[in-house]
Amino acid sequence: MDHSCLQAIANAKYHFFHGPLQAERRIGGVIYFEDTKIGLIAVSADYPPTDTVKYSRFSEIIQLPTANHNDLNCSKGNV
């Protein structure tokens, strides 16, 4: 595959990103809205590519764990 023609598009006004991708020899695309932290990925279901596509919606959620004083990275004096 010639990657020289692959180009992502970002629109700062609408906080929008769109671009092609290749994963394990399969082609696809991704769209992502930065303001809502939600996106969609579409990847060809077969190789070589056919008209069958698999879709997945994803969201960015960062959830930090609650400190329970059992964390191996913290000593009791630092918590």
Q: Is there a cis peptide before residue 48, judged by omega within 30 degrees of 0? A: yes
The Cα 54–Cα 79 span in angstroms is 45
The Cα 71–Cα 57 span in angstroms is 32
The single-letter code of the amino acid at 53 is: V
Write down the domain spans for the chain: 3-60
The Cα 52–Cα 64 span in angstroms is 37
Q: pLDDT of 47-71, one tens digit each?
A: 888 889 999 999 987 776 676 666 5
Q: State the pLDDT confidence band at 29, using cuts at 50, 70 and 90.
A: very high
